[in-house]
C-alpha cells in the first residue's frame, strides 16, 4: 500500500507542476515579454482562466500526503516553515494580481498588479525548484549537534541559508549553491512551458518571438542540466545508484531527454501543441527522475545518526491506508472529471473569452 500511495501522490504532484506550471511560466513570459496592453491582457487570461482549477492538484497532494504519510507531512511542514510561508504569500499575490488587474481601467493600477503576477510567478518557480533541491540533497534530521540529536529523529528546521552557503555542511540552509541551480532549472523549464502554453492558447503578437525565446532558453536548460548532474554527484555520490540497479527507471530520464531534444525543433513543429507536449515531458521526466533516484526514501538525512524518512517509516497504518483507498478513488474521479470539463469548456484559443471584466 505504501508504494501505491507513493505512486498516486507522485502522479498528483506531476499533474500540479504540469498544469499550474504553465501558469507560473505564463507569469514569467508576461513579466519580461508582454509589452502592449493587448498582449498583456490576453497572456494574463491564458493563466487567469485556469489557475484556480490547476491549484486543486496542490491541495489534493497536500491532503494525500497528510493521509498516507503523516510523519513526513508533519516533518516537512515544520522544517520548511519559513519557505512555506513565503510560498503562501507568493501564491496570494499571484492570484490577486490576476484578479485585480482589470477591476479599474487605470494604467498605474494595471502595472502594479501585472508586476505582482509576474514577480510572484517567477519567485514561485524558483522556490519550488529550490524545494526539490532540498529534497534530493537532504536535511539534518533530528537537528544533530556534535553527534547528538537535539529533537525527535524525524524533525528538522532549516534557516533560509547558512553562513557557508554550501550544501556539503551538516547544517544546510534552504538556499545554497546547489538548490539555486535546481531553482534556476525550474525557472527556465517553467518559462519554456509557459511560452508554449501562450503559443498554444492565444494569438498573441509575440508568439513567433516566443519560439526564438524557447530555443534560447532550451540551450540554457541543457547547460544547467549538465551542471546540475555534476553538482548532484558532488553533493550525493550515490544519487544515481537506483538507475544502475534498476535499469527500467531510466525511462524517466529518457522522458526528460526526449522533451529537451524536441524543443530544439520548436520552429519546425506544424502544430502548436507539440511544443507544449515536449515541455510537459520535461517536467514529468524531471520530477519522476528525482523521485526515482530517491525511492523508497522521501527525504534523505545528511547525518549518520538518524535514518532518512522513507515511505515505510512515515506511512500511516495499513488499516488507514486501505480505508483511504476507496475515498481516494472517488476523489481522483472527481478531480479528473473537473479537469476534463473545464478544459473542454475552454478549449481552443482564449483570446475572445471574457475574464475579469
Going residue by residue through the chain, which has 357 residues, state the pLDDT in tens, using 9 for 90 and above.
788 889 888 988 998 999 989 999 999 999 999 888 888 888 888 888 888 888 888 888 888 888 889 999 999 888 888 888 999 999 999 888 888 887 887 888 888 998 999 999 999 999 999 999 999 998 888 888 877 777 888 888 888 888 888 888 888 888 999 999 999 999 999 999 999 999 998 888 888 899 999 999 999 999 999 999 999 999 888 888 888 888 889 999 999 999 999 999 998 888 889 999 999 999 999 999 999 998 888 989 888 888 888 898 888 888 888 888 888 788 888 888 888 887 788 777 877 777 654
Examine residue 160 and state whether it is found in any structural domain, yes or no: yes
The bridge status of strand 297-299 relative to strand 144-145 is unpaired
> Could you tell me which residues are beta bridge partners of residue 327?
none
Q: How far apart are CA 182 and CA 239, in angstroms?
A: 15
Q: What cell was used for 128?
A: 519550488
- Among 229, 231, 224, 225, which residue's Cα sits nearest to residue 243? 229
What pLDDT sits at residue 356?
Answer: 56
Q: What are the CA-CA distances from residue 76 to residues 123, 139, 233, 332 (Å)?
A: 20, 10, 24, 24
What pLDDT sits at residue 51?
Answer: 82
Per the structure, how many domains does the chain have? Answer: 1
Q: How far apart are CA 19 and CA 127, in angstroms?
A: 17
Examine residue 351 and state whether it is found in any structural domain, yes or no: no
The answer for residues whose C-beta is within 8 angstroms of residue 247's C-beta and 6 or more apart is none
Examine residue 273 and state whether it is found in any structural domain, yes or no: yes
Length of the chain: 357
Examine residue 354 and state whether it is found in any structural domain, yes or no: no
Q: Which domain holds residue 127?
A: 2-345
Examine residue 352 and state whether it is found in any structural domain, yes or no: no
Contact status, residue 232 vs residue 168, Cβ threshold 8 Å: no
Examine residue 355 and state whether it is found in any structural domain, yes or no: no
What pLDDT sits at residue 355?
Answer: 66
Examine residue 137 and state whether it is found in any structural domain, yes or no: yes
Q: CB burial class (10 A; 0-12, 13-18, 19+) of residue 101?
A: buried
What pLDDT sits at residue 182?
Answer: 94
Amino acid at each position: 500500500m505504501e508504494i501505491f500511495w507513493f505512486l498516486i501522490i507522485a502522479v498528483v504532484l506531476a499533474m500540479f507542476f504540469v498544469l499550474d506550471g504553465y501558469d507560473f511560466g505564463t507569469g514569467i513570459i508576461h513579466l519580461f515579454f508582454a509589452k502592449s496592453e493587448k498582449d498583456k491582457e490576453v497572456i494574463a487570461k491564458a493563466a487567469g482562466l485556469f489557475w484556480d482549477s490547476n491549484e486543486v492538484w496542490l491541495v489534493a497532494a497536500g491532503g494525500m500526503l497528510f493521509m498516507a504519510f503523516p510523519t513526513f507531512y508533519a516533518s516537512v511542514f515544520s522544517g520548511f516553515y519559513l519557505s512555506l510561508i513565503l510560498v503562501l504569500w507568493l501564491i496570494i499575490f499571484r492570484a490577486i494580481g490576476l484578479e485585480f488587474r482589470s477591476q479599474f481601467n487605470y494604467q498605474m493600477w494595471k502595472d502594479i498588479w501585472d508586476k505582482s503576477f509576474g514577480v510572484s510567478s517567477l519567485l514561485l518557480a524558483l522556490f519550488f525548484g529550490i524545494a526539490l533541491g532540498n529534497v534530493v540533497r537532504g536535511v539534518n534530521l533530528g537537528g544533530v549537534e556534535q553527534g547528538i540529536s537535539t529533537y525527535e529523529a524525524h524533525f528538522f528546521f532549516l534557516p533560509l541559508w547558512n553562513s557557508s552557503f554550501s550544501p556539503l555542511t551538516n547544517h544546510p540552509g534552504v538556499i545554497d549553491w546547489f538548490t539555486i541551480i535546481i531553482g534556476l532549472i525550474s525557472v527556465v523549464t517553467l518559462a519554456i512551458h509557459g511560452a508554449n502554453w501562450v503559443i498554444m492558447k492565444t494569438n498573441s503578437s509575440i508568439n513567433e518571438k516566443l519560439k526564438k525565446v524557447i530555443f534560447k532558453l532550451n540551450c540554457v536548460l541543457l547547460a544547467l542540466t549538465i551542471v546540475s548532474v555534476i553538482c548532484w554527484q558532488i553533493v550525493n555520490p550515490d544519487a544515481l545508484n537506483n538507475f544502475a540497479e534498476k535499469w527500467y527507471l531510466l525511462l524517466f530520464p529518457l522522458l526528460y531527454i526526449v522533451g529537451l531534444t524536441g524543443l530544439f525543433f520548436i520552429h519546425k513543429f506544424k502544430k502548436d501543441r507539440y511544443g507544449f507536449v515536449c515541455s510537459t515531458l520535461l517536467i514529468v521526466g524531471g520530477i519522476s527522475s528525482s523521485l526515482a533516484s530517491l525511492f523508497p526514501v522521501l527525504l534523505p538525512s545528511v547525518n549518520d545518526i538518524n535514518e532518512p524518512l522513507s515511505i515505510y517509516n512515515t506511512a500511516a497504518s495499513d488499516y488507514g491506508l486501505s480505508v483511504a483507498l476507496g475515498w481516494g478513488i472517488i476523489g481522483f474521479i472527481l478531480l479528473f472529471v473537473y479537469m476534463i470539463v473545464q478544459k473542454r469548456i475552454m478549449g481552443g484559443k482564449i483570446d475572445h473569452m471574457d475574464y475579469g471584466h
